[in-house]
Each structure stands twice: as C-alpha cells, then as structure tokens.
Amino acid sequence: MPEFAWPWVVVLLPLPWLLRRWLRPAAPGQALHLPQPGVRLAAVADNRARGAAPWLLALAWLCLLAAAARPQWVGPAQAQQRSGRALMLAVDLSGSMRTGDMQLAGQPVSRFGAVEAIAGDFISRRSGDEMGLILFGSQAFLVTPLTYDLSAVRAQLQGAAVGLAGTETAIGDAIAVAVKRLAALPEQARVLVLLTDGVNNAGSIAPRDAARAAKAAGVRIYTIGIGATRMRIPGFFGSQLVNPSADLDADMLTDIANETGGRFFRATDSGELAEAYRAIDALEPMPQHGPSLRPRHELFRWPLLAAIALLGLVIVPRRFARTRGLPL
C-alpha cells in the first residue's frame, strides 16, 4: 500500500500564496516619475498569469510537494530468518596469559598469542552467528555486545593485550556479565565460551555461584583450560622441567560446564585448542526470527518528473514568445 515517509511536508502547501501576498508588486499609482519627460520607471509587471499557466504552476507545486513527502509502496511485513547461534566469548587477560608455553606453526608463542590466532579463526568461521566478546582479568568487561559484525569482534580481540583488565582472574564476574547479556535470548541460543588458564582469585562472585545463576537463566557454558603441562625453563644448575599450569583449576571449570549442560576442554597446546573450538563449532544452529521488515519502494521519481514536465509547459512557451518578440 502507498504511504508517505514525510507527510509533514503538506504544511508547505500555502507557501506560494503567502509569498504572493508578502511580495505583492507596487500598484501602478505608486510608480516613480522622473523629472525628465517621457522617462518613467514602469511598475512591476502584473503577476496574474494568463490562460492555463496558473493551473499548471499549481499542479507543479502539488507534484513537488508529493515528491518531497517521499511516497513509498510498502509491502506486507516479512519475518527475517537468521540461522545460527548467539555466542558470548570470554577470554582471560590475566598476567599468566603471557606464559610462552604454546607453539604456533612451530614457533613458541604466549598463551594469549595462541588464543588470539585460533579464536580469531573460530570467530571468522561463524558467519551468520551473533557473537559478543568479554575480556576479563581482575575485572570483567563487555567490549563487544552481541553483533553479527564478526570482523568487529575479531578486531577487538586482536587489539587486546595481556594485563589490560588487570593481572588477576575474575572468572565468576565474567560469567555474571555474560549471563546478564544472554538472558534476553532464546534458551537454545544462550551459549558462553569461557577460556582461562588459572584459578579464580578476584571478583565479587564465586564461579560456582555464577554457574548456578547461568543454569537458572538457561545459559550453556563451555569452558576451555589452556596451558601446557610441561615446560623446560633454564636454572642455575641447568634447565628443569616444570608444570606451568599447576594453578589451573580444572575441577572448577569442569563443574561449571557440567552444571550448565556444557563441556570442559583441556588445551595443552595450540592443536588441542583448535580442536576444542572445532568441537564447539559442532553445536547445532538454531533458526532465529529476526525483526519483521516491510519492503519499501521509493516512488518520488514520478511526481518529480511530473512537476518538471508541468514547469516545462509554462516556461518553454514563454521563452519561445520572448525570443520571437511576441506578447506573453
């Protein structure tokens, strides 16, 4: 059905009439007479158009107003289907993520370096999904709300740095931030992927309490514990083998995943980390109804062309008569 996007333009309808009243030419009796005989400034020409010109100008003005009001043909509402999931990604930026016990393409990298590369690829593969990003350390921050712009999510992850949110680990707070943002989504789409390398030692909410709140809100949590189990470090009496992930609370991460119907993944190298993300990739997508949209087709061209044609019917004959010396 036809509609006008800017119907208020109709208030300009009396504008030509008002201008005519305000800019009325001087009466013939008010013409200025100069002392020289035969010289006289003529009064302003009578603005009453002859013949059909006034009607053509009036129609042209109506057509211009109709074009300015943006006429549109609006179709019936159509519900948009979106296939995919809404995922919130929570990444640990505590000081221990600097530990260089991971390898990527045969080169040693920090834990966050491996996450940045592999999680970045995971984000890029999720075309059609809605994703958000939480970065946490001593505090948890939502840096990217749920969005279909995956390039923005990846850019925020690549722009992060270890220690940006503090040097400690507030796992419970990160879960609480995610639950708050996911609560308004369909239950099957409420998914949090939480990656950390340590134990909860900061924040105001205990991780297991946050997990119970997530369960009550229908949020499914997948936890990933990152960090190698063996690392050789140099010492005074030679190198020694240590466990750089001794502080990782795998039991807590397992409990969080089991409590919410998710799964715990242990990633001791970049290969296992990539495998964990591929397993999460296997989640079944759920069709979601997006906002209903009504197709709109702009129609302003037609009244605009009509106005131009009507003005042409008034102007062209006058120009022609003027060039021939004929009376207007």
Report which of 210, 222, 217 is spatially closest to residue 253, judged by C-alpha positions: 222
Interval 45-94: pLDDT, tens: 334 445 667 788 888 888 888 888 888 887 776 655 555 677 899 999 99
Interval 181-210: pLDDT, tens: 988 777 657 899 999 988 899 899 999 999
Position 318 pLDDT exceeds 90 = no
d(CA 210, CA 170): 11
Which residues, other chains included, contact 308 with Cβ-Cβ below 8 Å and sequence gap of 6+?
none
Interval 120-137: pLDDT, tens: 888 888 877 788 999 999
d(CA 18, CA 171): 70
3-state secondary structure of 253: helix
Element housing 265 (H / E): strand 263-267
132 phi and psi, to 5 degrees? -130, 165
Per-domain residue ranges of the chain: 2-76+295-324, 84-283
Cα-only R_g, the chain: 36
Across residues 154-160, what is the average pLDDT?
Answer: 91
**Superfamily covering domain 84-283:** von Willebrand factor, type A domain (3.40.50.410)
| 76/9: higher pLDDT | 9
Structure letter (DSSP) for residue 97: G
**Cβ–Cβ < 8 Å for 281, 125:** yes
Report which of 135, 223, 145, 127 is spatially closest to residue 182, judged by C-alpha positions: 145
